[in-house]
Amino acid sequence: MRPRHPIPTPIPTRWLMTDERLGEGLWQALERLPRGGGVVFRHYRTAARERRALFERAVRVARRRHLTVVAADSRGLRGADGTHHRVGFGMVTWPVHDAREAVRARRAGADVLFVSPLFATRSHPGARAKGPVRARLAAGRGPGVLIALGGMDERRFRRVRPLGFAGYAAIDAWAAGPVSGQKRKAVPT
């Protein structure tokens, strides 16, 4: 079992998964994510120096908005609240696509399991969506907060919540159009 470090509580129920596809839309997405939400900073294909600068800017926005930030491949990144897809400090989040990955996540002591893909998603074109029930079954039972991922938005989350998902993660839901029940607000430039 890994040593425990303080993790942000409560664990966010709304998450933004970042990647290069967002471009400058990253800043709008960070502003649209509800206060207290979470951010998984990925940007795997961005050059190290540029990635570090982008991460530092994202953390400044996150602190102002009271967002939790976990970093994938966190080498050289300072200021995160945890790590994604590896045992590390603070909150540990883990991707879960099948039962084997769910077991690995729990053995690693993951606090949050991102279960995917529930629905078709632009992030992984052509990937077969599991559907909510099969995705939930793949996650299995045990510790860790389950977060639905893959084609998610507020409407779909209401549909899958009864299956045991505590929240959802998305890219497009935060990057485009108003979120259900929220008024669109101006994003400072």
pLDDT for position 25 = 95
Q: Among candidates 86, 56, 87, 51, which has minimal Cα distance to 69?
A: 56
Question: For residue 108, how many C-alpha atoms fall within 13 Å in the half-sphere facing its CB?
Answer: 24
And the tokens for 159? 């549909």
pLDDT for position 75 = 79
In angstroms, rounded to a whole number, what is the distance separating the alpha carbons of residues 162 and 31?
28
Residue 62 predicted with pLDDT over 50:
yes
Mean pLDDT across 135-150 = 96
In angstroms, rounded to a whole number, what is the distance separating the alpha carbons of residues 61 and 68?
11
- CATH code for the domain defined by 14-175: 3.20.20.70
- The 10s digit of each residue's pLDDT in 72-102 is 988 778 899 999 999 988 999 999 999 999 9
pLDDT for position 189 = 25
Mean pLDDT across 125-141 = 92
Mean pLDDT across 164-183 = 77
In angstroms, rounded to a whole number, what is the distance separating the alpha carbons of residues 107 and 101?
10
Q: Which residue has the higher pLDDT, 188 or 99?
A: 99
Which residues does 109 contact at the CB level (< 8 Å), separation at least 6?
A: 1, 2, 87, 92
pLDDT for position 1 = 44
Euclidean distance between the first and final Cα of the chain, in Å? 44
Bridge partner list, 39: 16, 69
- Each domain of the chain, given as residue ranges in start order, spans 14-175
Of 4-8, 92-96, 104-108, the one with minimum mean pLDDT is 4-8
- % of residues, the chain, pLDDT over 90: 78
- The 10s digit of each residue's pLDDT in 11-23 is 999 999 999 999 9
Q: Which residue has the higher pLDDT, 2 or 106?
A: 106
Q: What is the DSSP string of 76-105?
A: T--S-SEEESS--SBEEEEEESSHHHHHHH
pLDDT for position 5 = 56
